[in-house]
Structure 1
Amino acid sequence: MLLTDALGTTHLPDPHARIVSLVPSITEMLCDFGLAPQIVGRTGFCIHPRDTVQAIAKVGGTKDVNVDKIRKLAPTHVIVNIDENEKPTADLLAEFVPHLVVTHPMAPRDNLGLARLLGGIFCVEPAAQQWCARFEEAYARLQAAPRGRPATVLYCIWKDPWMSISADTYIARMLAEIGWTTPVLGSARYPAFTWSESLVAGLDCVLLSTEPYRFQEAHVDALEQQIGKPVYLVDGEMLSWYGTRSLAGLGYLRELAGKGWV
C-alpha cells in the first residue's frame, strides 16, 4: 500500500522516526498506537493522553509554532494539518525537516485512511489495523441507531465575533451522520456571522462548542434569552477531534441523536 499524505506526497516506512506532532488529535493517536517514546515535540494544545504528553517537549501552539525549537529537536518527521497549522510555517519546516506529513481528514471515515497512513509510516500497522476494526464496529453501531428527524443546527466555535462552520468541514460531516445540517453563512469554511431574525427563524437549535472558544452553561442561558431558540452545550473534542478520539465521537453522536433536542 502506498503511504500517501493529503498533498499526495509518498512516504516510506521508518521504524526509527523522531516525530514532532503539531496536531493535537494526531498526537493522541500516535500515543495510542504506542509511539509516545518517538514523539520529541508537540504543541501546548496536545493535551491527550494527559499523563503521557507531559513528558514531551512543547514547541508552541498550532498557529504560533516555534520553528527554532523544532530545529533543535532534529525530528525526521513533522506532522501538520491543513486546517490547524499555517502554510508559511509548514513551508519553513520543509526547508530542514526530512519528512513533512500533511493531513486533512474531512469526514469520519477518513479516520481509517489516517490510521493506515500513520501506522504504515511509523511501522505500527497491527495497532492501526486493530483500531480500524474498532472504528468500523462503532460506525456500524451509529448507522444502526435510531435517528431523529433531520434538523438545521448552528454550530458555534467562537464569539466576539461569532463564528460557525460550513458544510465543508469535519465537524459538519460528523453532524451530518445523524441528519443535522448547518446553514450557509457565506463562502468561508469557518464563517463569521451576526444574529438576525432570518437566521434564527431557520434554525431548530444552536450548539455551543466547548472548543476552541470555551463556551459554558452561562453562555447557553444568555443566548437562549437573546434569540428565543433552544441552545445546547456540546463537547467540542468529541465532534472535532479526528484520530483515536473519533471512536468516542461516534458514540457521542449516538447520544446526541437520542436526546430529543430537535
Structure 2
Amino acid sequence: MQPRAVDAAGVAHEIAGAHARIVSLVPSITELLFALGLDRQIVGRTGFCVHPHDKVRQVRKVGGTKAVNIDAIRALRPSHVIVNIDENERDTVDRLRAFVPHIVVTHPQTPQDNLSLYALLGAIFDRAQEAQRLSEALETRLHEAAAQMLPRQNVLYLIWREPWMTVARDTYIAAMLRLVNWQTLPDVEGGAAGAARYPVLDFGHAPWLAEVDRILLSSEPYRFTQAHCEALKGDPRLAGKRIELIDGELVSWYGARAIDGVAYLLGRAAAP
C-alpha cells in the first residue's frame, strides 16, 4: 500500500504521479511549490500569487483567493487544487470538489507548522528531499530565535485603515511576532466567542493603547506608506510610540518565505 499524507482537513492523500496538474489558490503555497521544484506541474494560480516573479508569469491566473474563476480551473483539468482554511471560502472548495480529484487543505497557524506543511506537500508530490532541506533551514532560524534574549515589546500590528484593523493573538502573524518577543495588543483571540481574528480598532476607545511600545504598519493587505507613519506620529494619542513600516509578506506568508521571515524579524528586533 502506498504511504499517504494527511492534510489539515484530516484527508489522507496518496503520492501523486509525475503527471500531477496542480492549481494553487494560496499565494504563499504557490511560492512553496516552486521552492519544491514543481515548476512543470503548476498549471494555475491566483492573481495574488506573485512569487517567484520570473516563474509565476508563465502560470495561468484563475481569479483571486476569494473570487475564484471555477470555469477557468475546470478548463485546466487539475488533479490537485491546494486551498487554505483562512484564505479560501468553503463554498468555493465545495464546488471544486465536484470535479477535482484531490483537494489539499492547508492551515498553518504558527511558524513551526511550516515544518509539517513542507512535509505534507513534499510527501504528496514526491519532493521529500527538497522538503527536508527547507525544514532544516527553517529549524536553524527557529533555533536562532529561541536562543535570543530579546526584551518584550508590546506591538500593535495594523493591516488595514478605514477602518483600522489589527490581528488577534491566535493568528499566524502574532505567532511570528512572538518569536522575537513582540506581543500583540489587544490581548484577544479570534477563537473566543464573539471575538474576531482581525479586530477593528477605534483609537479613541482603546485603553490598552497606553501599553503599546511599537506600532507596525504592514505592507499588505493594505499598502501602508511612510506618509501613513508620519500622519500617525502626529496623533497626540500615540505620542512617544515607535511607529514604523513592516514587510507584511515576510511576516504573514508561511511556506518557504517563513525562513527569510524569521531572519527579518530577528534583524528588526535587534535594531536600535
Scaled to the shorter chain, the TM-score interval is over 0.9
C-alpha deviation, 1:2, in angstroms = 4.2
Aligned mates of 1:175, 1:130 — CA distance in 2:
24
Aligned mates of 1:133, 1:205 — CA distance in 2:
32
Aligned partners of 2:43 and 2:60 also within 8 Å: yes
| Deviations, residues 226-259 of structure 1 (Å, cap 9, x unaligned) | 1322211000011000000001001011112102
Aligned partners of 1:119 and 1:127 also within 8 Å: yes
Match of 1:142 in 2: 145
Q: Which of these residues, 125, 132, 135, is aligned with residue 132 of structure 1? A: 135
Matches within 5 A, 1:38-57: 38-57=41-60
The reply to whether residue 204 of structure 1 matches residue 189 of structure 2 is no
Match of 1:120 in 2: 123
> Any stretches of 5+ residues in structure 2 without a counterpart?
189-193
- Letter of the structure 1 residue corresponding to residue 175 of structure 2: R
Aligned mates of 2:115, 2:30 — CA distance in 1:
16
The reply to whether residue 194 of structure 1 matches residue 202 of structure 2 is yes
Aligned partners of 2:65 and 2:88 also within 8 Å: yes
Matches within 5 A, 1:1-262: 2-15=4-17, 16-147=19-150, 149-182=151-184, 183-184=186-187, 187-196=195-204, 198-226=207-235, 227-228=238-239, 229-260=241-272
- TM score, norm. by length of structure 1: 0.96
- Letter of the structure 1 residue corresponding to residue 167 of structure 2: I
Aligned mates of 1:2, 1:106 — CA distance in 2:
22
Aligned partners of 2:4 and 2:15 also within 8 Å: no
- TM score, norm. by length of structure 2: 0.92
> Any stretches of 5+ residues in structure 1 without a counterpart?
none
Q: What is the count of residue pairs matched by the alignment?
A: 259
Aligned mates of 1:13, 1:38 — CA distance in 2:
14
Aligned mates of 1:184, 1:224 — CA distance in 2:
23
Aligned partners of 1:146 and 1:258 also within 8 Å: no
Aligned mates of 2:9, 2:31 — CA distance in 1:
22
- Letter of the structure 2 residue corresponding to residue 258 of structure 1: A
| Deviations, residues 35-61 of structure 1 (Å, cap 9, x unaligned) | 011011000110000000000000011
Regions of 4+ moved over 6 Å: none
Aligned partners of 1:142 and 1:254 also within 8 Å: yes
Aligned partners of 1:157 and 1:163 also within 8 Å: yes
RMSD: 1.3
Aligned mates of 1:146, 1:238 — CA distance in 2:
22
Aligned partners of 1:142 and 1:253 also within 8 Å: no
C-alpha deviation, 1:140, in angstroms = 1.3
Aligned mates of 1:152, 1:22 — CA distance in 2:
33
Identity of aligned residues (%): 51
